[in-house]
C-alpha cells in the first residue's frame, strides 16, 4: 500500500520542475550535518530569510459569519506538496506564475512540506511566512526522513538523534534556535524511514517530547505525522489509535488511572489519509478525549491530488467532509489538506505552473475548493462540492486602524503606482501580498455580477478587484468582502478608489455593518464618477463614533438594467483623518440656532480668517451641503436646508485653522 500510494507523492517532490530562481540549498534546506553545525551568522544562515511580520491575532465573530451556526473548533492545516520547489526564494522574482495562495481566512496552519533522503530540514521562506502571519496563519518547517525505498537511511535518523555530552538532543537545540531566528511557528516531524528498531523508535519519541517542551513555551508547536510507531516500525494508522497516540499524549509513568495520560508529547498529530469512512474520524475523536486531548489537535488528512487516495474534491468532497463531521456544524477532528498545490500543478485543475496565461483556471480552482461549485461561499450549492466554507467559518485579522488594501495578490504581469503603470515586467513576491477579501466572493441577491482579480489594471501593485457583468434593474447584487473589528472615532473616514472607465453614475454603494446591528448593511453611495480614470470617494464615518465596523461590502444597484457593467476597485482605506477631528471651542462665540429646527438655522462665530467653509453631512456620511463664505470678523449666516428630510445632521465649520462640529436635528 505504501509503495502504491506514496511513491507518486515522492515522485512529485523529486521531479517537480524548479525555476532557476528557486533555491534548494541553505538557508532553506539543511542536511542533518548542516543542522547540527548551524549557528546564527554561520555559513548556512541568511538574515534575509528572517520573517519581519509577527503572527497576527485572528477572530471569527459568529454574528458576521455567512452561516452563524458554524462553530470555530475545527482547524485546517494546508500542506502544499513539495513546497520547497514553489516558494524557496527571497525578494521579488521576475516570474508571474509561481505558486500563490489567497484563501487564508479558512486555514490555520501552513506546513512547508517537502524533502528528500538528503534534504532533511525544510525551512520556510520569509515572503510566505510574512504573508501567512498577516492573516494569523502559523507556518511550520518540516523535518523529513525519507522512506527506505527512496533512499531513506537508518544512519541518517541515528545521526539526527545524536545527543551531546550532557545527554541532550543536539537537534532540539538547533531546531529551537532556527525557529526563533527566522520567526516561524512550528515543526512538522515526518519519520517514514523503515527499520529503525525499538531503540531508535524510543529515541524519536523522546526527541519529539523534548522538542515540544522546548518550543511550546515560546508559543511554537510540534506536529507529528502518523507514520512511525514506538517500536520503530512505519505503520500508518489513519486514525488516532492505541498504537500512535503516545506521540500526542502518553501515560509515560504507567500508573493509570492515577494521573491519567500525564505526558504531553506533541502539540498535534497529522493523520495519514488511507481512510474512507467516519469510523476512523469518530474513533480519533473518542481516543483523543480518552487521553485528555482536544479532538481538534488531531488533523485528519485528505489527499487532494486527484485519483490517489480520497476522491477528487469536486466529486467526492461532500463525502469526505461529511465523514469528518458528526453533525452539519460540528466536526470529529480538525482537517489536513495535503497536496493543495495540485490546484497549481495538476492539469485537472490548471496548468498555471507552466502557463502564466492559465491564471483564471488556477484562481477558479481555489475558489471552487473553498467556495463551492458556484465559487460563492454565500450560497450552499444544490449540486457539486459545497466548498470548505460550507463547514468552516472564515476568520480575519482586521482589528486596527488604519486598514488599507490595494487587493495586491503578490504577483502580476505589470506594476502600478497610484494608478500609473510603472513596469510591464512579470513579477512575484508573496511578501507584497496584502490582506485579501475574507470571502471570495460572497454574492447575495442577484448574482449577475462577476468578481475577479484583474491583472490588466491596478491602482497599486499588480492587480485590482473587478466587478463586471450586468446589473439587473431593481435587483441589486451584494458582495460581502471583509470581516472586520474596527473601532470608529471622531476622525474615522473610509476612502474607495475606483474606476468605471467613464464619467457616469457608479451604481455602487459601500455597505457597512456596525456591531450594534451586525445583520444590517448601511449604504453609502459613491454617486457619480468625475473621471474616466481612477476616482477616490471619501465617506465621513465620524457620526458613528464609538461603534465598530464588523463587515465591509459592496452593492451594485440600478433602477434600470445596466448591461454591460464594469467597476474596478483599486484601493479601500479606513483610517483616522486628523482633518475630521472636532476641535471644539476654538471659535469665539460659536453657536448654531435654533436647534432643533425645520431646516433653516444660523451659524454665528468670530474669526479673523477671510473665509469660512460650512459642510453638512447626514448620518450616512453623505455630504448634502457645502459652501465657502466671505468673512469679516463677525460671521453670521443663515443656512437653508428646508428641502432635506427630517433627521440628524452634522454641521462642520472651519476657517482653515479652527474647526468645530455640531449635531443638529431637522424636524
Q: Which residues pair with 479 in a beta bridge?
A: 443, 554
Q: Residue 259: its pLDDT value, please? A: 85
Going from the C-alpha of 89 to that of each of 310, 367, 479, the distances in angstroms are 32, 26, 35
567 shares its domain with 658: no
Please check whether residue 521 lies inside any domain of the structure: yes
Strands 420-423 and 464-471: unpaired
Helices (H), 266-312: 278-290
pLDDT at 3: 29
Same domain, 636 and 532: no
Summarize pLDDT for 242-261 with one digit per residue, the tens.
999 999 999 999 888 888 89
**Domain identity same for 451 and 565:** yes
Residue 455: CATH number of its domain: 2.60.120.260
Count of domains forming the chain: 2
Q: Does 566 lie in the same domain as 600? A: no
Which residues lie below 8 Å from residue 589, measured CB to CB, with a gap of 6+? Answer: 604, 605, 606
Indicate if 645 and 541 belong to the same structural domain.
no
Regarding whether 637 and 615 lie in a shared domain, the answer is yes
Strands 647-654 and 659-666: antiparallel
For residue 459, give the nearest of 489, 399, 415 by alpha carbon: 415
Angle, CA 400 vertex, CA 395 and CA 404 arms, to 5°: 85
* Best CA proximity match to 554, nearest among 570, 576, 569: 569
Q: How far is it, in rounded angstroms, from Cα 185 to Cα 220?
A: 5
Q: What is the pLDDT of residue 578?
A: 74
Write out the H or E segment, with its range, that includes residue 612.
Answer: strand 611-618
Integer Cα distance of 224 and 266 in angstroms = 7
Residue 339 near residue 85, CB atoms below 8 Å:
no
- Give the list of residues 6+ apart from residue 202 with CB closer than 8 angstroms, or none: 230
- For residue 323, being part of any structural domain is answered with no
Is 422 inside any structural domain?
A: yes
Q: What is the pLDDT of residue 8?
A: 32
Q: Are both 563 and 594 inside the same structural domain?
A: no
Residue 26 lies in a domain: no
Q: Please tell me whether residues 531 and 503 are part of one structural domain.
A: yes
* pLDDT for the residue 657: 83
Length of the chain: 667
Supply the pLDDT for residue 257. 87
User: 50 burial class (0-12, 13-18, 19+ CB within 10 angstroms)?
Assistant: middle
Q: Which residues of the chain have pLDDT under 50?
A: 1-20, 582-583, 585
* Residue 411 resides in a domain: yes
Instruction: Give the integer Cα–Cα distance in Å for 554 and 524.
Output: 9
- Report yes or no: 464 and 454 within 8 Å, Cβ to Cβ: yes
Long-range contacts of 5-10 (CB under 8 A, 24+ apart): 5/274, 5/308, 5/309, 6/147, 6/192, 7/149, 7/150, 8/305, 8/308, 9/81, 9/305, 9/308, 9/339, 10/146, 10/147, 10/150
Is the Cβ–Cβ distance between 397 and 57 less than 8 Å?
yes
**pLDDT digit string (tens) for 47-87?**
999 999 999 999 999 999 999 999 889 999 999 999 999 99
User: Could you give phi then psi for residue 436, rounded to 5 degrees?
Assistant: -95, 170
Task: Tell whether 526 and 598 lie within a shared domain.
Answer: no
Residues of the domain holding 451: 403-580
Domain end call among 580, 603, 630: 580
Of 397, 401, 376, 403, the residue nearest 387 (C-alpha): 376
DSSP state of 543: G
The percent helix, strand, coil of the chain (3-state, each to 5) is 20, 30, 45
Q: Is 321 contained in some domain?
A: no
Count of CB atoms within 10 A of residue 133's CB?
22
**Contacts with 257 (C-beta within 8 Å, 6 or more apart), sequence order:** none
β-strand 334-338 against 298-303: which pairing, if any?
parallel
Give the three-state DSSP class for 227: coil
Stated as kind and residue range, the H or E segment containing 225 is strand 221-225
Domain boundary among 564, 580, 596: 580
**How does the average pLDDT of the chain come out, rounded?**
93
Q: Which residues contact 561 (CB under 8 A, 6 or more apart)?
A: 470, 471, 472, 473
Residue 652 lies in a domain: yes
The CATH number given to whatever domain includes residue 620 is 2.60.40.3080
Looking at the structure, tell me whether residues 498 and 441 fall in a common domain. Answer: yes
- Domain final residue pick, 554, 580, 606: 580
pLDDT at 580: 63
pLDDT in tens, 284-311: 999 999 999 999 999 999 999 999 999 9
CA distance 272 to 269: 9
Residues 265, 271, 277, CA angle at the centre, nearest 5°?
Answer: 140
Task: Please tell me whether residues 448 and 595 are part of one structural domain.
Answer: no
Looking at the structure, do residues 425 and 441 belong to the same domain, yes or no? yes
Residue 95 lies inside a defined structural domain of this protein: no
Amino acid at each position: 500500500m505504501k509503495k502504491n500510494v506514496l511513491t507518486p507523492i515522492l515522485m512529485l517532490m523529486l521531479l517537480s520542475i524548479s525555476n532557476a530562481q528557486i533555491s534548494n540549498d541553505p538557508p532553506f534546506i539543511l542536511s542533518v550535518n548542516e543542522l547540527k553545525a548551524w549557528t546564527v551568522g554561520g555559513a548556512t544562515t541568511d538574515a534575509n530569510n528572517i520573517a519581519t511580520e509577527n503572527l497576527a491575532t485572528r477572530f471569527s465573530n459568529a454574528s458576521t459569519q455567512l452561516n452563524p451556526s458554524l462553530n470555530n473548533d475545527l482547524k485546517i492545516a494546508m500542506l502544499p506538496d513539495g513546497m520547497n520547489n514553489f516558494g524557496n526564494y527571497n525578494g521579488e522574482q521576475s516570474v508571474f506564475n509561481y505558486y500563490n495562495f489567497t484563501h487564508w481566512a479558512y486555514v490555520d496552519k501552513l506546513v512547508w512540506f517537502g524533502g528528500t533522503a538528503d534534504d532533511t530540514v525544510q525551512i520556510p521562506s520569509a515572503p510566505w511566512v510574512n504573508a501567512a502571519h498577516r492573516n494569523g496563519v502559523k507556518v511550520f518547517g518540516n523535518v523529513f526522513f525519507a522512506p527506505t525505498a527512496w533512499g531513506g537511511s537508518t544512519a541518517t535518523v541515528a545521526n539526527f538523534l545524536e545527543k551531546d555530552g550532557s545527554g541532550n538532543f543536539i537537534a532540539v537545540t538547533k531546531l529551537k534556535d532556527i525557529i526563533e531566528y527566522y520567526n516561524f511557528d512550528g515543526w512538522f516531524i515526518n519519520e517514514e524511514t523503515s527499520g529503525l528498531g525499538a531503540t531508535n523508535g524510543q529515541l524519536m519519541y523522546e526527541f519529539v517530547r523534548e522538542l515540544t517542551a522546548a518550543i511550546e513555551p515560546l508559543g511554537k508547536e510540534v506536529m507529528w505525522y502518523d507514520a512511525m510507531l514506538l517500536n520503530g516500525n512505519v505503520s500508518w494508522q489513519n486514525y488516532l489509535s492505541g498504537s500512535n497516540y503516545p506521540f500526542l499524549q502518553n501515560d509515560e509513568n504507567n500508573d493509570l488511572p492515577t494521573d491519567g495520560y500525564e505526558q504531553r508529547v506533541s502539540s498535534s498529530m497529522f493523520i495519514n489519509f488511507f481512510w474512507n469512512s467516519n469510523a476512523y474520524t469518530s474513533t480519533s475523536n473518542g481516543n483523543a478525549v480518552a487521553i485528555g486531548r482536544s479532538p481538534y489537535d488531531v488533523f485528519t488528512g485528505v489527499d487532494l491530488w486527484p485519483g490517489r487516495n480520497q476522491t477528487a474534491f469536486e466529486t467526492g468532497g461532500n463525502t469526505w467532509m461529511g465523514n469528518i463531521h458528526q453533525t452539519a456544524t460540528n466536526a470529529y477532528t480538525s482537517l489536513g489538506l495535503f497536496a493543495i498545490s495540485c490546484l497549481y500543478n495538476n492539469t485537472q485543475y490548471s496548468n498555471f505552473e507552466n502557463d502564466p496565461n492559465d491564471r483564471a483556471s488556477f484562481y477558479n480552482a481555489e475558489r471552487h475548493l473553498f467556495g463551492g461549485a458556484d465559487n460563492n461561499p454565500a450560497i450552499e450549492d444544490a449540486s457539486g462540492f459545497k466548498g470548505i466554507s460550507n463547514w468552516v467559518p472564515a476568520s480575519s485579522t482586521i482589528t486596527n486602524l488604519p486598514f488599507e488594501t490595494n487587493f495586491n495578490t503578490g504577483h502580476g504581469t505589470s506594476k502600478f503606482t497610484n494608478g500609473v503603470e510603472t513596469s510591464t515586467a512579470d513579477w512575484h513576491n508573496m511578501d507584497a501580498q496584502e490582506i485579501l477579501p475574507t470571502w471570495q466572493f460572497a454574492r447575495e441577491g442577484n448574482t449577475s455580477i462577476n468578481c475577479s482579480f484583474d491583472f490588466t489594471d491596478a491602482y497599486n501593485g499588480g492587480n485590482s478587484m473587478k466587478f463586471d457583468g450586468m446589473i439587473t434593474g431593481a435587483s441589486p447584487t451584494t458582495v460581502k468582502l471583509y470581516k472586520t473589528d474596527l473601532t470608529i472615532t471622531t476622525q474615522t473616514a473610509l476612502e474607495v478608489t475606483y474606476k468605471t472607465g467613464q464619467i457616469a453614475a457608479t451604481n455602487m454603494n459601500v455597505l457597512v455593518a456596525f456591531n450594534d446591528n451586525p445583520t444590517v448593511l448601511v449604504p453609502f453611495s459613491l454617486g457619480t464618477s468625475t473621471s474616466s480614470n481612477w476616482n477616490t470617494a471619501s465617506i465621513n464615518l465620524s457620526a458613528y463614533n464609538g461603534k465598530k465596523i464588523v463587515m465591509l461590502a459592496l452593492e451594485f444597484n440600478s433602477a434600470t438594467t445596466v448591461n454591460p457593467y464594469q467597476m474596478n476597485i483599486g484601493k479601500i482605506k479606513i483610517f483616522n483623518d486628523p482633518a475630521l477631528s472636532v476641535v471644539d471651542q476654538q471659535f469665539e462665540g460659536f453657536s448654531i440656532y435654533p436647534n432643533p429646527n425645520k431646516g433653516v438655522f444660523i451659524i454665528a462665530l468670530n474669526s479673523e480668517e477671510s473665509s469660512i467653509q460650512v459642510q453638512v453631512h447626514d448620518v450616512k456620511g453623505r455630504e448634502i451641503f457645502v459652501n465657502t463664505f466671505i468673512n469679516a470678523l463677525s460671521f453670521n449666516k443663515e443656512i437653508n436646508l428646508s428641502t432635506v428630510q427630517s433627521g440628524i445632521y452634522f454641521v462642520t465649520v472651519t476657517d482653515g485653522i479652527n474647526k468645530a462640529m455640531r449635531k443638529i436635528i431637522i424636524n
